């Protein structure tokens, strides 16, 4: 099972058209960052159930030399999103105008990332060029994937009555058919406006006015002033010192801590020689401990009570590793639930690497499509609590908790790696599976992604908190895990519930190796 290897650059995305958009920009001399903006715009159109302009994004940029840069392009709760506004409810609704309660940050992230690109390279491609593919696909139609058709059909009943949903995402009142051609004329108009007015128009220009008017009309808790106040932030990534090298991920409000903690704990267990059952058991047990850290600490970065980086100190990780029992599964509570997302990676010939995620949270987010824009707004604010004493208590201007966390690593042997996955609680677990297989156990890159995966908790479309195993694990492995006390649930082969993973590695000889997930519509495209 071979990866794709190239000499000049590589792009990986869960939809092949997004990979091709990135590749075309690389061929024209654009940076990995510019290529990623092109891919991000395209995938917002061709995978519209998973991500879009109405969602959030997170960037992890690893230059050839020097410290990585993170960009937090996630929005805060709107000024009308007060506890009083949700009085009488026990939790925030997952759908409808009340669910669309945070500013969408993703477009601000594209803008900020392009500034980083200009600072690094001193040159720039026109914005209209970067958005050209996305505009074309929105105007002239894209093929409906099985993923989009399934998401629309499975959520049809809960979404069909939400403002703007039916007009935008249904065809003659029904979910679109796989392989049919799907048009998004309003989105084409919006993307064209951004190309002409600049990305900042989304927050402080004519487009912001249109968005705010729609919000007011539909009763969203977000206002024009909230859009005006939003800006993406450059942040310092979290770093894990691992036997194999340095691993980077995002700081709060994301769960990057979880992904690094799992790898930090398992780094202290004997993973190199572990078989499937031992590998899985140890990572699952480490996941439970890492989720404990998450639930105790991660919130809006301004409200943190702890220096989260210190939770990754060797002594702290050793204390957690000592709690892993090789002979028994520890009990655990419940996960945070699903997350519908895209992860993408790009590397260019200079050695610049980008690990990137953008998301609407649940499939189609809140379901609310703002009038005349084609933009479906996220429901990330549903991760807030209505309990005023809770760590994640709702408050205007507060950032919600995010499952999103793009990863990167600089290995001691000179390899540089970007990797990640979609899938809520599954993201850190898939990252751990991929990193452990490829870096620690020496499994080839593509095979590390293709091999069967697992998921503790809930992800995309799931409601139970069992340990879910994909098909293709041996009966012996399944039996051992059950004997250890895991509540095992078996899933089909190549189940989308296991997320869409991807990775790119730059080898010391300058070659780029890319791998994509056969569970997606993706591609690893290089030249």
pLDDT tier at 334, thresholds 50, 70, 90: low
Residue 365, pLDDT score:
95
Cα distances from 105 to residues 183, 227, 281, in angstroms, run 24, 9, 37
Active site (annotated) includes residue 341? yes
Under 8 Å CB-to-CB from 140, ≥6 apart: which residues?
Answer: 183
Which tens digit of pLDDT belongs to each residue from 181-229? Answer: 999 999 999 999 999 999 999 999 999 999 999 999 999 999 999 999 9
Which tens digit of pLDDT belongs to each residue from 350-387? Answer: 999 999 999 999 999 999 999 999 999 999 999 899 99
- CA end-to-end distance (rounded Å), the chain: 20
User: Residues 430-444: what's their mean pLDDT?
Assistant: 97
User: Where do the DSSP E strands lie in 135-218?
Assistant: 142-143, 181-182
Residue 323 pLDDT exceeds 70: yes
Radius of gyration of the chain (CA): 21
Other C-beta atoms closer than 10 Å to the C-beta of 283 total: 26
Instruction: Round the average pLDDT of the chain to a whole number and report it.
Output: 94
Which is more confident, 100 or 331? Answer: 100
In the set 287, 341, 436, 450, the catalytic residue is 341
Tell me how far apart the alpha carbons of residues 65 and 350 are, in angstroms, rounded to a whole number: 10
């Amino acid at each position: 099972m071979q990866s794709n290897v190239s000499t000049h650059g590589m792009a990986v995305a869960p939809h092949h058209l997004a990979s091709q958009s990135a590749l075309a920009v690389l061929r024209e001399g654009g940076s990995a960052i510019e290529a990623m903006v092109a891919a991000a715009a395209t995938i917002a159109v061709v995978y519209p159930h998973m991500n879009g302009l109405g969602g959030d994004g997170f960037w992890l940029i690893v230059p050839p030399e020097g410290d990585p840069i993170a960009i937090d392009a996630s929005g805060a709760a709107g000024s009308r999103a007060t506890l009083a506004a949700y009085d009488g409810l026990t939790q925030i609704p997952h759908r409808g105008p009340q669910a669309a309660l945070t500013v969408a940050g993703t477009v601000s992230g594209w803008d900020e990332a392009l500034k980083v690109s200009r600072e690094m390279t001193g040159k720039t491609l026109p914005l209209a060029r970067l958005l050209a593919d996305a505009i074309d696909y929105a105007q002239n139609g894209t093929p409906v994937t099985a993923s989009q058709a399934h998401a629309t059909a499975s959520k049809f009943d809960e979404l069909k009555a939400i403002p703007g949903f039916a007009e935008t995402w249904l065809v003659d009142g029904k979910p679109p058919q796989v392989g049919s051609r799907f048009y998004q004329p309003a989105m084409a108009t919006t993307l064209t406006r951004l190309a002409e007015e600049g990305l900042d128009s989304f927050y402080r220009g004519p487009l912001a006015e249109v968005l705010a008017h729609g919000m007011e009309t539909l009763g969203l808790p977000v206002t024009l002033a909230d859009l005006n106040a939003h800006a993406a932030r450059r942040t310092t990534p979290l770093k894990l010192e691992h036997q194999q090298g340095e691993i980077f991920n995002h700081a709060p409000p994301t769960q990057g801590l979880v992904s690094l903690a799992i790898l930090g704990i398992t780094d202290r267990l004997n993973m190199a020689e572990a078989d499937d059952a031992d590998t899985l058991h140890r990572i699952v047990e480490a996941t439970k401990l890492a989720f404990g850290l998450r639930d105790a600490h991660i919130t809006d970065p301004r409200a943190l009570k702890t220096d989260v980086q210190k939770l990754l100190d060797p002594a702290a990780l050793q204390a957690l590793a000592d709690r892993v029992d090789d002979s028994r599964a520890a009990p655990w509570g419940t996960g945070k639930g699903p997350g519908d997302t895209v992860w993408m990676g790009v590397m260019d010939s200079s050695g610049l690497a980008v690990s990137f995620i953008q998301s609407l949270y649940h499939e189609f987010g809140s379901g609310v499509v703002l009038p005349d824009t084609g933009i479906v707004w996220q429901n990330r604010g549903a991760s807030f609590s209505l309990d005023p004493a809770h760590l994640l208590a709702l408050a205007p201007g507060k950032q919600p908790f995010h499952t999103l966390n793009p990863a990167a690593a600089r290995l001691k042997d000179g390899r540089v790696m970007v990797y990640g996955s979609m899938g809520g609680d599954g993201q850190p677990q898939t990252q751990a599976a991929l990193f452990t297989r490829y870096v620690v156990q020496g499994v080839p890159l593509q095979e590390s992604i293709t091999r069967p995966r697992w998921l503790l908790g809930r992800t995309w479309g799931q409601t139970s908190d069992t340990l879910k195993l994909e098909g293709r694990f041996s009966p012996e492995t399944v039996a051992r895990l059950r004997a250890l006390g895991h509540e095992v649930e078996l899933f089909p082969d190549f189940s989308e519930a296991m997320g869409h993973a991807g990775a790119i590695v730059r080898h010391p000889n300058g070659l780029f190796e890319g791998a994509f997930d056969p569970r997606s519509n993706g591609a690893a495209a290089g030249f």
